[in-house]
Structure 1
Amino acid sequence: MLRQKIFIKKSKRNNILKIVREHYLREDIPCGVEFCSPCNILVANNNDHNFHRTPVLLSSSSEGINGLHKSAALLIPDTNVFLHQMDVMEHSLIVNVVVLQTVLQEVRHRSSPAYKRLTECIAEPKKKFFTFVNEFHKDTYVEREPKESANDRNDRAIRQAALWYQQHLKQQQQQSLEDDDCNEDVVVILLTNDVENMKKARSEGIISYTVHEYISNMMGCTDLKDRLAAIQEDMEVDGKEKDLFPEHLPLSAIQKGLKSGQLLQGTFQASRENYLEATVNIHDSEQQVFIQGRLNLNRAVHEDVVVVRMLPQSQWSHPSSLIVDDEGEKPDEEDDDDDDDLQKKLARTMDKHKVPTGQVVGILKRNWRQYCGILQKSLIRGMTRHLFVPAERRIPKIRIETRQAEQFENQRIVVVIDGWPRHSRYPQGHFVKRLGEIGDKKTENEVLLLEHDIPHSTFSESVLACLPALPWIITAKDLSTRLDLRETCVCSVDPPGCTDIDDALHCKQLASGNYEVGVHIADVSHFIRPGTALDSEAASRGTTVYLIDKRIDMVPELLSSNLCSLRGGEERFAFSVLWEMTSEARVVSCKYTKSIIKSQAALTYAEAQMKIDDPTQTDDVTEGLRRLNRLAKILKQKRVENGALTLASPEIRFHMDSETHDPIDVQAKELRETNSMVEEFMLLANIYTAKKIFEDFPDCSVLRRHPPPPVNNFEPLVQVAKLKGFHVDTSSGKKLADSLESATTSDNPYFNTMLRILATRCMMQAVYFCSGTLSQADFFHYGLASPIYTHFTSPIRRYSDILVHRLLAASIGADASYPQLLDKIKIQNVCKNLNFRHRMAQYAGRASVALHTQIFFKNRVLDEEGYVLFVRKNALQVLIPKYGLEGTIFLDKGENKLGEYNEEENSQRFGSHVMRMFDKVIVQVSIDASNIQHQKLILKLVYPKIDGLSVPSVKELNCKMEVDKNKDKNKKEDALDTSWSSVVKK
């Protein structure tokens, strides 16, 4: 059956166009139910059709578990069910579901994450989700009526499809009874959370329930009931509840305010140190707006896109020097006396250094996700409403309803937010799933990966199907198209235990006296072709994630640790950059080529350093390393002279127990000359590659920029240097580098390192971008003092490098051009994902270090040397270089304030003693296990000795224990002597 729609449309050039749209309707689209013989015959006879050909298998497990009906149920959910109750629909008990084409299209249009989850349910055979193309079935297609909204038309289409299923299956069941076939009695149920839609469905004779009604009547399904998301109607109150927050502006007022400039739009960034403070990064601007106070935060959650109104300058404030946590549960009806008192206390210290301050007046986009954490049980016995404490400190506590509180004790669980009504102190949400026991290493790693949105599932069959077959060999065609460098003395230098070796080096002397220097990078792009499932997966993951005890690969292990890894003694494909250099490290020429190499040695940094330092070793590998090391020192000196920054960040290495895989020792990473040697040649290869691809592809090159920090970012650095008698000039990268180089003291050898660590924290994040989206002046890499830069040297672990390899291959004619690389909009979107993935990988790595540090200190109490990194009003933040970790010494002891804070000098006075930034201290390090959600290191001051704050050292405690033990021993001996004497006397 063919239907036509004809309408007239005016083009941009005012031409009148007649548009004819044809819509084909069919009678041969099957319903997908197993016992429906006519539809199954259709499937058998029409193999060329595109409709879903696998029939729904009615599950006996669905019978009798719902009190509403004893029969097996065939569920037809509407769009809102999949948008808001996906956690319920994914549960194993929800089977036999018809997904209408109308619903699938709406979900795809309104929510990409929900659509992805829905398609995964459809693809899972056990779920028995069947896609019915109701828009092309002659009995279920409905025309949109005059003045009918698209939403109302879609609701009517869903009801029509449900009615057809009800009548169609009833007819088949009656036919089965006449034929004496024994088939199940099936009831068709329309699930909806739209009350009006449900009323209309029931008036039309369709069995319809809300999701809450249907699930609440399922017997013995507590876990499923806990997954029910609270709908907006459930959050509304009858007016008796007190509003705790201001009402958000309507969308019309927001749009008008944004257009006039009275309102600003940006991303909400909650503070880690004070739950009553946040910053909004204004979009398309470097402006930041400070938000302080519960009412001004106005229910915004970390990463939400919000609208802010600036406060009058007289009400501006600045970030507090207090560290404040949201401790304990507060009832909604309780006044905010504590919060108000805290805000007044903050306001009294805000007279100077005020920053632009505003208030949240609207939420444009909620960027809520699934949150990991623990349940904080209600103190009232028998209550089903409890608080959930997220692992991420910047997320507020979430109120959920669950009947499984007892089972969730000592468990990590996952929760999502459903909404945040004005009368509620906390957002409201629902339980999704449990992860495992708190403290279990596997569970904690899972939390870490989920919290940082790290894709860590196993690679799919479609991805693995893209891998080359084994055994893999180099063919004659490969030899004819690549430069054969197998006889060149190439070697790799990497950290110990590295299996994804993606770079190697060589250096040999030429007859002219110059050197040929080669950087050889694994040719991953040879194996990962654009448009394949493997390419899509690598682009989605973006980067390999390195945790302390595991690695989450960007590409399957066959590539990362085998075929692409430049292992010693094995022939591998490479992409090589070859320079001719003088002995002064001046580049005479540069060549790029696809090559075949055979690494002569896969060395660690320590092994390479030993070869260089041992005068008795004169083999080709060692001589090559010595040449490379000498040239690298010259290259580094040139970079520093040009203004490149040498910054610092504390890095540590864990020594793991071979059986338990728990850390048994922690130490700071030792950096050798060979670390710097490799780094210099990787930087050089990246810079030269960036120049080459930008020269040939000025509009679509994948580059990396490091924006210069705003001047106010350097205030803490300048202030602390000034207090120590040094002037730090931040007017340019070169002057900053010179200032840091000269800031040294004889009495504190770690001072300069501390200063560089602080300078690192002042920096902006480096980001990937497409060259066609920015002016060339914005390409500058501040940290490297390079006008142009990219990433080329790690394609095994970074997708950005694969894109650069493809551009470079097209540039030198080594591979066909890639059309999708010429679309700068698509490339920029890929770069945005890469920036996000790279940032999350960094955070996950740091979280893994923190987790293993906690495990290491679990049963240990140690005294360690540290330095005061920041002085707060109520705390000292201390860095311990040996472990590369930070901790906090709190100065408030109940009602007693131990120090006097000087905001101007950023110092704390304790009687005659003053503590300032970078002061050396001895601290006692242990684990605070009282807060099982946010377990943290506890630092106690050992030295300098300050009354009310310092504690005895571990050595003193051990001596005291030994003395007490001897006293006890002497008492026992005395008692024994006395008792024996009495026996003798008798």
Structure 2
Amino acid sequence: MNALVGVLRQNGKHGIVELDRKDNELGARINIPRKFLNGAPFNMKVVCNYKGTDSGGEPWGSVIEVLGEEGNPDTAILGIIKYYNLPLEFPSEVLEQAKSFGKSISEQEIIEEINQGRVDLRNLPTITIDGEDAKDLDDAIDIEKLENGNYLLYVHIADVSHYVKEKSELDQEAFKRGNSVYLVDRVLPMYPPQLSNGICSLNPDQDRFAFTAEMEINHQGKVVKGKLYPSVIRSKVRTSYNETQAILDGEEVGEDRPDWFREQLFLMQELTDILQAMRRRRGALEFEFPELKIELDNAGNPINIYPEPDLYTNHMIESFMIAANEYVGDLAQKHKIPIIYRVHELPDSEKLNIFANIAKRFNIRLHINYEKPEPKELAKALEEMKNEPFGTALSTILLRSLAKARYSEKNLGHFGLASDNYCHFTAPIRRYSDTFTHRSLKRWLKEHNNADKKCLKRAFKVSNHVSDTERIAIDAERDTVDQKAAEYYADKIGEIFDGKISGFTPSSLFVQLESLVEGAVFFRSLRGYYEYDPEQFIAINRDTGDVLWLGQKVKVQIAAVDTNRRFIDFNLLEYDTTKTKNA
């Protein structure tokens, strides 16, 4: 259950909390009798609890925590954290256990592990490619071209399960959290930083234990041979998406980089092109939604918002991770290893039919079996709409018509990736599902036994739990982005921006600015009587006949911003009346 968070206002001698988010049962406000203020000052953001209903039928409660001043950027994010009941601190016993592993691995530890079967790969030219600010480096890459023309790809993943034993204090806390949460201004890690950023992170020039998927991949993108084993690696280069993209685009390699670095990157590019082509052939869905980047000052105030560049190198690493995840999924399916699968079930036929009718209005026609749809058919539609003004908005509608990806102990396939056997293996530092899967794989490698009922029951429990914590994380991350967007535009009232219509409700339309931030234009603010037609996905002015449609270019003015509820309202100033060929 979500917490009740809002701003405490004075109401005579008593208080009233204006909730940041309307509660489905209690409404938008909760009365706080004087004796239940518990010393909380007015006009502060607070957490309250519900105690009952007064004689007038109004909900009432008490203040249980004061978060800080209204309008303070840190207080706003803290309010979101509290709303979702996300943990801010680790228990002391968990921190002590994380510290006990130290900061480095001794040579004696390595020798002992090698004697037990761990493979020494420290001679390989291993690199990590991440964002500049990343600290929890859980994957590293090696690649070479074989004499037969195939590629040998090593995907090394941090061996978290070597340290975090099942049912330990660390394990129980990680299970409870389910995943790391990446908010706009901070990370709430699944494991303490001593572990996630330290002994488990594949930092450069440090010996680290890993779990390696070694795959030989041919020119059709098929894994023809593979191995899975615990390893010890030593990353030689810690690089970034930006640096590697610049090199692939023709810039010189830095003098501090080894001689082999450039060649490795271009080999990675070759294999990435092969893997991407293979996935397109089988019909994997390629949604192209740019990420919104928000720059903050030291106090947490937003100073710039813009679409983050969609770099090829991001997709390069993504391709390698998908390859490893699929290889492990194939292995688990073949040998009946009890892992947690990442599943994406068939779309609901009714929702898909609704999307098809909307798409038809834009001359995008689906030739699809609604009872047994093939991803190839939707991939073709995505390609058709990609460069259209309405492309992003229509792609969003398609995405919402699909099932949500989730975790399951059963292998139900992954529709979006057009993959029969898929799991998450590559991020155990930040996903508990991966830690669970690592343990099952290690057990199988050691004992080659099939799943027992106890293990399958545990997989079922973990799958459901981490599916829930993932949804909470996604919602919290989105809310913090919306919060900073609202703060950014709060001092821009009256300013004018270009945008596109991105959606409709019966009472309003949504506009996405070039910064990717969205706001609403209420029909009541427009001249004339506008009515939304859900069948044609347009709004019609019944007085003038003017039509507003998805993807239409507009100019809007910032009319109002509510930083507590994270709303941005626009005035519609101009709209383009020239339709594209498909609109």
* Larger RCO, structure (CA 8 Å, separation 6 or more): 2
* TM-score in terms of structure 2 length: 0.88
Alignment of 1:742-781 (within 5 A): 742-743=384-385, 749-771=388-410, 779-781=412-414
| TM superposition shift of 1:540 | 0.8
C-alpha separation in 2, matches of 1:553 and 1:440: 24
Give the drift of 1:616: 5.7
Once the 2 structures are TM-superposed, how far is the Cα of residue 425 of structure 1 from its aligned partner? 4.6
Shift of 1:407: 5.1
Alignment-derived partner of residue 480 in structure 2: 848
| 2:139 is the alignment partner of 1:503 | yes
Change (3 A) 1:868 1:394: farther
Task: Specify which of 487, 508, 511 is matched with residue 878 of structure 1.
Answer: 511
Cα distance, 1:892 vs structure 2: 1.1
* CA–CA distance in structure 1, aligned partners of residues 418 and 75 of structure 2: 43
Distance between the aligned counterparts of 2:132 and 2:560, measured in 1?
30
Note the alpha carbon deviations across 1:467-509, whole angstroms, 9 max, x for none. Answer: 3135542422123332111111111111221110101111112
Q: Pick from 277, 297, 300: which aligns with 1:637? A: 277
Distance 2:404 2:92 in 1: 33
Give yes or no for the alignment of 1:928 onto 2:561: yes
Per-residue displacement from partner, 1:729-752 (whole Å, max 9, x unpaired)?
45322211112212356xxx4433
Pick closer, same or farther for the CA change 1:812–1:471 going to 2, 3 Å.
closer
Runs (5+) with no aligned partner, structure 2: 578-583
Aligned pair 1:902/2:533, yes or no?
yes
Aligned counterparts of 2:552 and 2:208: Cα–Cα separation in 1: 52
- Which string of whole-angstrom CA distances, capped at 9 and with x for unpartnered residues, describes residues 412-449 of structure 1? 1222223458x855444333222221121222122111
1:902/1:908 contact within 8 Å kept: yes
Q: Equivalents in 2 of 1:399, 1:751: separation in Å?
A: 41
Q: Tell me, in whole angstroms, the C-alpha distance in 2 between the residues paired with 1:616 and 1:893.
A: 55
Aligned equivalent of 1:390: 19
Distance (whole Å) between structure 2 residues aligned to residue 810 and residue 754 of structure 1: 46
Residue of structure 1 equivalent to 2:8:
375
Q: Equivalents in 1 of 2:414, 2:251: separation in Å?
A: 39
1:573 offset after TM fit, Å?
A: 1.0
1:726 is matched with 364
Secondary structure (helix, strand or coil) at the match of 1:537 reads helix
CA gap 1:900/1:796 in 2 versus in 1, 3 angstroms: closer
Q: 1:653 aligns with which of 293, 296, 307?
A: 293
Letter of the aligned partner of 1:689 in structure 2? V
Query: 3-state DSSP class of the match of 1:391?
Result: strand
- The answer on whether the counterparts of 1:387 and 1:397 sit within 8 Å (CA) in structure 2 is no
Q: Is the 8 A contact 2:393 2:551 kept in 1?
A: yes
Which residue in the other structure is 1:603 paired with?
239
1:428-467 pair list within 5 angstroms: 428-466=60-98, 467=100
- State yes or no: 1:829 paired with 2:461: yes
Pick the aligned partner of 1:581 from 217, 221, 246: 217
Alignment match, 1:623? 263
Distance (Å, rounded) in 2 between the aligned partners of 1:426 and 1:575: 57
Structure 2 distance, partners of 1:871, 1:564, is 46
1: CA distance, partners of 2:339 / 2:209: 24
- Residues of 1 paired with 2:167 and 2:535: CA distance? 58
For the pair 1:803 / 2:443, whether they are aligned, the reply is no
Contact kept? 2:561, 2:569, Cα under 8 Å: yes
Rounded to whole Å, the distance in 1 between the matches of 2:367 and 2:89 is: 48
Do the aligned residues in 2 keep the contact of 1:490 with 1:506 (CA within 8 Å)? yes
Q: For residues 555 and 935 of structure 1, do their structure 2 counterparts lie closer, same or farther at Cα, with a shift above 3 Å needed? A: closer
**How far has the Cα of 1:728 moved from its partner?**
3.0
Taking structure 1 as reference, are residues 944 and 786 closer, same or farther at Cα in structure 2, changes over 3 Å only? same
Residue matched to 2:249 = 613
User: Match of 2:490, SS?
Assistant: coil
Report the CA distance between 1:945 and its aligned residue.
8.4
Read off the aligned partner of 1:795 and give its amino acid letter. Answer: P
Q: Which residue of 1 aligns with 2:581?
A: none
More strand by percentage: 2
Residue 717 of structure 1 corresponds to which residue in structure 2? 355
CA distance in structure 1 between the aligned counterparts of 2:386 and 2:159, rounded to whole angstroms: 44
Instruction: Give the superposition deviation at 1:681.
Output: 1.0
AA aligned to 2:101 is P
**What letter matches 1:390 in structure 2?**
L
CA displacement at 1:546 relative to structure 2: 0.5
The aligned amino acid for 2:357 is: Q
RMSD: 2.7
- Alignment match of 1:858 (pick from 481, 487, 490): 490
- Larger CA Rg, structure 1 vs 2: 1
How many Å apart are 1:453 and its aligned residue?
Answer: 2.1
The verdict on how the C-alpha distance between 1:652 and 1:376 changes in structure 2, with shifts beyond 3 A counting, is: same
Per the alignment, residue 741 of structure 1 pairs with 383
Q: How many residues align?
A: 558
Q: Which residue of 2 aligns with 1:522?
A: 158
| 1:477 and 2:151 are equivalent in the alignment | no
Q: Would the alpha carbon gap of residues 457 and 744 (structure 1) be closer, same or farther in structure 2, given more than 3 Å must change?
A: closer
1:808 Cα deviation from its structure 2 partner? 1.2
Counterpart residue type for residue 526 of structure 1: H
Give the drift of 1:838. Answer: 0.8
Quote the Cα distance in structure 2 between the aligned partners of 1:407 and 1:620: 62
Whether the aligned pair in 2 keeps the contact of 1:505 and 1:518 (CA below 8 Å) is yes
- 3-state DSSP class of the match of 1:577? strand
Alignment of 1:562-577 (within 5 A): 562-577=198-213
Judge conservation of contact 2:20–2:564 (CA < 8 Å) in 1: yes
SS at match of 2:185: coil
Report sequence identity in percent.
27
Does the CA-based 8 Å contact 2:326-2:423 persist in structure 1?
yes
| Equivalent-residue separation in structure 2 for 1:927 and 1:872 (angstroms) | 19
Q: Which residue of 1 aligns with 2:580?
A: none
TM-score (norm 1): 0.54
Conserved in 2, the CA contact under 8 Å of 1:928 and 1:938?
A: yes
CA distance in 2, matches of 1:902, 1:583: 49
